[in-house]
Amino acid sequence: MGGVEGSTHAWKIRLKVKEVIVDDRRYVVCVNEDQAKKDAADRSAIISALEERLKEGDKSLVGNKRFRRYLASVGERFRIDYDKAKAESRFDGKWILRTNTSIGAAEVALKYKQLWIVEQLFRSAKTLLSTRPVYHKYDRTIRGHVFCSFLALVLRRALQERLEAKEASCEWADIEQDLDSLTEVELEHAGKRFILRSQPKGTCSAVFRAAGVALPPNIRSVPLDLKQ
């Protein structure tokens, strides 16, 4: 299976690809090893959670689609279908593309991933960044709302590019949570004023390094007459 490392601007993609012809139809088998590791970890977490939940009773698991896929019935009870989980592991990080183009297999896979990334960014613009609904009366405020939403999307992408350049793998939900936990408090003592910073958690340090911003000291003194 051949390899491909593609890049459009700062979108870095590493894939292994193999071309297969079946009944005169051209297929491209793609393998993303990073995604394979994630798929395996996600499945392992589900199995572990299932094992714990089954100790408390199995009836409540039937309605949970995430759990139900790995359950098998034994009479009126349920058990974990380890064989199904093992069989599913064969497809970790793999997908198949069908094409009637004449371009190389590596280029087919790269174009598909680029398209997927663009679609993902547009979904983010409408969901994570709350582009919709728009509750504004004037055209200028609507344009401003949309502009700010896409500016946020551009800034998010820029930060992810910088993290990738430093080979830091961070989930966006973790970044938001960790940055939200970084706080400062202000206090006065003996006629002096201080600002105390909380300890950075999780991805915070990597994010600040990628952005080229130094964290302020844990404790810093500020003049009493300084206006915030």
> pLDDT by residue for the chain (228 residues), tens digit each?
544 444 333 344 567 888 999 998 999 999 888 888 888 998 898 888 888 877 776 665 655 566 677 888 777 777 888 998 899 999 998 989 999 988 888 888 878 877 776 666 666 666 655 556 667 788 888 888 778 877 887 888 889 889 888 888 787 778 888 999 999 999 888 888 899 999 998 899 999 999 999 998 999 988 876 554
Q: Name the pTM for this structure.
A: 0.48
Of 107, 210, 222, which is closest to residue 163 (Cα–Cα)? 210
Range of 125's domain?
A: 115-172
| DSSP-based three-state secondary structure for 4 | strand
Domain end call among 105, 129, 149 = 105
- Interior/surface letters 208-223, b for 16+ CB within 10 angstroms, e for the rest: eebeeeeeeeeeeeee
In a domain, 28, yes or no: yes
Q: Mark whether 215 and 134 lie in a shared domain.
A: no
Q: Which residues contact 5 (CB under 8 A, 6 or more apart)?
A: 12, 13, 14, 15
Tell me: do 98 and 43 sit in the same domain: yes
* Final residue in a domain of this structure, among 76, 105, 134: 105
Residues 137 and 161 reside in one and the same domain:
yes
Look up residue 192 and give its two tokens. Answer: 């002096």
Residue 110 located in a structural domain: no
> By CB neighbour count within 10 A (0-12 exposed, 13-18 middle, 19+ buried), where does 30 fall?
buried
Same domain, 22 and 51: yes
d(CA 168, CA 161): 10
Same domain, 153 and 202: no
Residue with token string 């970890």: 41
Looking at residue 217, the DSSP 8-state letter turns out to be: P
Q: Are residues 31 and 95 in the same domain?
A: yes
From the list 93, 83, 77, the residue with the least C-alpha distance to 47 is 83
How many independent structural domains does the chain possess? 3
